[in-house]
């Protein structure tokens, strides 16, 4: 690993529309008169158009010694709309009822939402063959978008960019981070990369599915026989992956999820300490066990816990009317995948190749707190440019389950001028980071 890259901060947390003809400039930008919001399309490849939406924080402080950060939010799925889900259901200015969100991350950073990859949300291709087939192709498109947005914008260039990803977005974040570093070194991208943040990322499905049985056995959601059945199906998925049978493995994974839902009597896949039957989303467990179309589950879960407004109706109605530039035959749609993983961080020791690993694993954890509450809300373990966070009481969607801790944590990660260090109880001087 090159020294210059090793200094890049890296963080880990616990969590198609085709157009027959459409003509658009390489970069188009629209927005509010006061400049607080901007949005538009970037033609990342001929006939491939990526939608972006930038929010400027009303708390923004221009300080040369501590520049105001920007967060690029990458949604999971794959196929989840960051412009829709991340923005209106998790961290944006407004919720799906278009009411102000008290825990919006705009209190600490500017926010850049992108519908990634093309074919997701408002992003589209004019030919189905132009959809990306690999994470690296998606990274290339995103890097092209960043070049178009940053290279001619000195204001953005002064703001360090933090790539923050949730779920499958973590795979996009890793490849994008590498692609951005290469572009910066080559002099083709004028951007200061602040760090990469992976939130409960779906970066190694085979390892994750093997954790489901033992994990749910430990928390008593599965019995021994149930866990053994889960492990057996997981082994079958491993064999399919080894043979390159990825579609078949995906189907078998859905079968495994359905089996676990039945054996556990409806465990919540987005927070395994909860029962799906105790939430408005409880019908999802039945839908999954009956193998009903799973595409809407990702955003539907958030809608049930965040507000009563249907996200698709919002994005294809009032938001589309506000933006005005979305082609009539483009609709914001989502695909989704379930993800629930063990939270002990042991995969770091197994897979991370880094000269600082030994020091990291022996550095010890420190408790984190939120506001003036004495209750422990999280833990952090850190060494040099790597930090690992455990967020207590949160499932897959940390900003939804623990909004205060998520906001304070991101403020610390990005070193936002608006961030307060009080929630860490002055342990920053003790941690080696």
Q: Comparing C-alpha atoms, which of 241, 200, 238, 174 is closest to residue 391?
A: 200
Q: How many residues does the chain have?
A: 433
Q: Residues 80, 171: contact at Cβ < 8 Å? A: no
pLDDT reported for residue 20: 33
pLDDT at 426: 37
Alpha-carbon distance of 105 to 143, in angstroms, equals 23
pLDDT tens readout for residues 162-181? 999 998 888 899 999 999 99
What confidence tens digit (pLDDT) does each residue in 186-234 have?
A: 999 999 999 999 988 888 888 889 999 999 999 999 999 999 999 999 9
pLDDT of 409 above 60? yes
Q: Of all residues in the chain, what percent carry a pLDDT higher than 70?
A: 77
**Superfamily covering domain 3-199:** Alpha/Beta hydrolase fold, catalytic domain (3.40.50.1820)
Tens digits of residue pLDDT in 117-134: 999 999 999 999 999 999
Predicted confidence band of residue 287 (pLDDT cuts 50, 70, 90): very low
Please tell me which residue, 33 or 378, carries the higher pLDDT value: 378
Beta strands in 48-204 (DSSP E): 48-55, 70-74, 110-114, 124-125, 161-166, 193-199
What token pair was written down for 378?
Answer: 């999280």
Own/partner pairs for 351-354, CB < 8 Å, 24+ apart? 351/204, 354/1, 354/386
DSSP readout, 352-369?
---TTHHHHHTS--EEE-
Residue spans in the chain of domains classed CATH 3.40.50.12670: 355-424
Mean per-residue pLDDT over the chain, rounded = 80
Query: Is 201:169 a contact under the CB 8 Å cutoff?
Result: yes
Give CATH 3.40.50.1820 domain extents, the chain. 3-199
Take residue 425 and report the two structure tokens written for it: 């109880």
Range 355-424 has CATH code 3.40.50.12670: yes
Tell me the C-alpha distance between 197 and 13, whole Å.
Answer: 7
CB atoms within 10 A of CB 30: 12
pLDDT in tens, 414-426: 989 885 543 334 3
Dist. CA 31–CA 29, nearest whole Å: 7
From residue 329, give the alpha-carbon distance in Å to each of 16, 21, 332, 335, 390: 11, 11, 10, 18, 42
DSSP 3-state percent helix, strand, coil across the chain (nearest 5): 40, 15, 45
Q: Which residue has the tokens 């589309």?
A: 320
């Amino acid at each position: 690993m090159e020294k210059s890259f090793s200094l890049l901060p890296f963080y880990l947390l616990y969590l198609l529309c085709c157009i027959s003809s459409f003509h658009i400039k390489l970069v188009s930008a629209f927005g509010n008169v006061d400049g607080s919001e901007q949005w538009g399309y970037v033609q990342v490849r001929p006939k491939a158009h990526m939608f972006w939406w930038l929010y400027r924080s009303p708390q923004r402080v221009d300080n040369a010694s501590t520049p105001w950060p920007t967060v690029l939010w990458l949604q999971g799925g794959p196929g989840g709309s960051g412009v829709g889900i991340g923005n209106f259901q998790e961290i944006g200015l407004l919720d799906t009822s278009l009411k102000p969100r008290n825990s919006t991350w705009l209190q600490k950073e500017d926010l850049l939402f992108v519908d990634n990859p093309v074919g997701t949300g408002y992003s589209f291709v004019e030919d189905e063959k132009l959809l990306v087939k690999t994470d690296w192709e998606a990274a290339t498109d995103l890097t092209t978008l960043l070049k178009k947005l940053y290279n001619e914008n000195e204001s953005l260039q002064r703001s360090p960019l933090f790539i923050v990803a949730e779920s499958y977005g973590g795979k996009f974040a890793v490849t994008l981070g590498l692609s951005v570093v290469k572009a910066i070194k080559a002099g083709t991208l004028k951007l200061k990369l602040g760090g990469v943040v992976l939130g409960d990322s779906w970066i190694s499905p085979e390892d994750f599915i093997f954790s489901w049985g033992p994990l749910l056995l430990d928390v008593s959601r599965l019995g021994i026989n149930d866990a053994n059945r889960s492990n057996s199906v997981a082994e079958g998925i491993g064999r399919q992956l080894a043979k390159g049978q990825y579609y078949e493995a995906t189907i078998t994974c859905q079968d495994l999820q359905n089996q676990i839902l039945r054996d556990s009597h409806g465990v919540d896949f987005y927070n395994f300490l909860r029962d799906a039957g105790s939430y408005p989303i409880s019908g999802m467990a039945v839908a999954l066990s009956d193998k009903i179309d799973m595409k809407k589950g990702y955003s539907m879960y958030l809608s049930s816990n965040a507000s009563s407004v249907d996200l698709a109706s919002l994005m294809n109605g009032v938001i589309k009317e506000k933006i005005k530039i979305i082609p009539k035959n483009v609709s914001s749609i989502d695909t989704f995948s379930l993800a629930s993983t063990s939270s002990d961080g042991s995969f770091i020791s197994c897979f991370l190749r880094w000269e600082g690993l030994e020091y990291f694993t022996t550095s010890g954890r420190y408790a984190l707190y939120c506001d003036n509450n004495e209750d422990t809300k999280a833990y952090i373990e850190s060494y040099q440019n790597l930090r690992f966070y455990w967020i207590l009481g949160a499932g897959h969607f940390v900003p939804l389950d623990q909004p205060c801790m998520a906001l304070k944590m991101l403020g610390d990660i990005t070193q936002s001028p608006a961030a307060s260090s009080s929630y860490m109880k002055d342990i920053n001087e003790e941690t080696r980071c």
